[in-house]
Amino acid sequence: MTHDMSIRGLSPKTKQAYLGRMRDFVKFFMTPPDQLGLKHIYRYQVYLSEERQLSYSFFNQTVCALHFFYTITLDRGWDIKRIPYNKKQKTLPTVLSKQEVVEFFHALDGKIKYYAIAQTLYAAGLRISEALNLTIPDIDSTRMLIKVSYGKGGKDRYVMLSEKLLLVLRKYWQALPVKPSTYLFPGRDPSKPLHPRSVQCEFQRAKQRTAIRKPVNPHILRHSFGTHLLEDGVNIRKIQLLLVHRSLNTTEKYTHVAQNFINETTSPLDTLDT
């Protein structure tokens, strides 16, 4: 299975996820997977959905792994419709107001590395994995661009480098006692990037020092980036390209939370002559 994934160019993160889901499946039955069939998969899906009550994303990731293993690696001619996906729940993203973003940044004062990471996530709309995998040459201050490598789906892209962000990154760089040679935000091992969990924990501590009632995490800063661009009048197609959304429908969800899209609509009650 590992070789099959490598041949098809699946990302390291996807490989790790698929192998993890297959290990869980095998552990559940304690039987080699080539001795299991559709009836076993059905039982396992019932267990995941009814007993474990896992999120649709985890459930569907398991389905993807099973599809790959049985139809690609074992080349079984199954109708994959017999291994169904879970229906995705249509939920709206949590978005911070601009004032809340500023308040959150202030809560990270004195934590220069995490302050710089938070600013990078919001200024460029990056995923946490994309931000933490930035290397020093990725920051192009001449062209005012950031090169984003190893994005979702293995897609590289360029995003804008904010002038304010550049100043923050320079301040961060000057404060480092030892300059990293590879990653912009290295972990304890300078040859590896900082772990996402470290960022999430620091963000939670910072959030507790604010009056913000909403959850705050790296992905919410990305949602806030997209929503605030929409509120500022940026074309939705451009936002789609910046966020690397495969479908415009994904980007359009920000119209449901953008304040001006909602507030500019007059309630019919206000038009009544009462």
- 155-200 confidence digits (pLDDT tens): 788 999 999 999 999 999 999 998 998 999 999 998 999 999 999 9
Q: What is the side-by-side strand order in the sheet with 145-148? A: 139-140, 145-148, 157-160
Give the CATH number of domain 2-82: 1.10.150.130
The string of DSSP letters for 71-133 reads: IIIS-----GGGSPPPPPP--PPP---HHHHHHHHHHTTT-HHHHHHHHHHHHHT--HHHHHT
Our answer to whether residue 127 is catalytic in this structure is: yes
Residues of the chain with CATH 1.10.150.130: 2-82
Q: Any catalytic annotation for residue 76?
A: no
Phi, psi of 89 (to 5 degrees): -80, 130
CATH H superfamily, domain 98-262: Intergrase catalytic core (1.10.443.10)
Residue that wins the pLDDT comparison between 224 and 254: 224
Q: Which of 18, 114, 122, 127 is catalytic?
A: 127
Q: From residue 192, give the alpha-carbon distance in Å to each of 4, 138, 145.
A: 27, 16, 23
| Active-site residue (options: 67, 111, 147, 152) | 152
Supply the pLDDT for residue 242.
83
Q: What is the mean pLDDT of the chain?
A: 88
The verdict on whether 219 is a catalytic residue reads yes
Looking from the CA of 217 toward its CB, the CA atoms found within 13 Å total 12
Residue ranges, comma separated, of all CATH 1.10.443.10 domains in the chain are: 98-262
The pLDDT tens digits for 92-111 are 788 999 999 999 999 999 89
Read off the pTM. 0.74
40 is catalytic: no
28 vs 269, residue with greater confidence: 28
Q: Is 205 a residue of the active site? A: no
Catalytic residue list contains 222: yes
